[in-house]
A and B are shown apart, each in its own frame.
With several copies, the nearest count.
Chain A
Amino acid sequence: MPAIRILYFASLRERVGRASAELPGDDPLTVAEAWSRLNPALPLPPNTLAAINHEYVDLGAPVRGGDELAFFPPVTGG
């Protein structure tokens, strides 16, 4: 089973201290569980957005091996 690839952007990347991470793909997980497994000492900041494979998802959405899971703060483009 391929791994889950995790990406952090903008202020969240600075807070976490890295731009990306991996989790084994053979373990069923939700988005929120993926966060706490990777960042046990840092509660998910309020207003954090998550996307799986470039689609916005809820924190309860399932993440599977091979997925790209991204965490980021509210967007500020335009």
Chain B
Amino acid sequence: MAVRIEIREHGFEPLAELAAHQQALDARLAGRYGATASFIGTMRDHNEGDDVRGMRLEHYPGMTERELARLAEEAVERWSLLDALVIHRVGELLPNDPIVLVAVWSAHRGAAFDACRWIMEALKSRAPFWKHETLPDGSRWVAKNTTG
């Protein structure tokens, strides 16, 4: 079992992270995985009908990492994943900035699809992050995540 969890305080490139992680993983797992599913969440310039100029992502240091590791490990166990990677931004973001990367590796595609989606939904309901949006005429806390 392998799981890598990271909280990033500055901008990151999900596809470069994914490529680097996969290269490292190939030393161990080349030929064993047939399926890689990944999800990238990106900041949009609109939300619930309003223009959004910027966003601040707060979190609960310590608990965040613990919760993310717990849910990724739960997914690894449940779907017999070969590896999983979760990277999540915090701090000040602008539209088009990456927010989150979830990637999983498994022998077969069903497990990869299921696990990647499950990790994202579990992250959205359990990991202690909070979004504060800057609008053209003020700011607001995002009250609730929509269902996926």
Contacts and interface: CB of A to CB of B under 8 A. Distances in A.
B126 interface: yes
Interface in B69-123: 88, 99-100, 109, 120, 123
B63 A75 contact: no
Contacts of A9: 58, 60, 128, 130
A75 B66 contact: no
B63 A77 contact: no
B125 A75 contact: yes
A76 B63 contact: no
Contacts of A11: 130, 141
Interface residues of B, number: 29
B111 to A, nearest CB: 15
Contact of B126 (A7, A70, A73, A75): A75
Interface in A29-78: 51, 54, 56, 70, 72-78
B128 A74 contact: no
Interface of A: 7, 9-11, 51, 54, 56, 70, 72-78
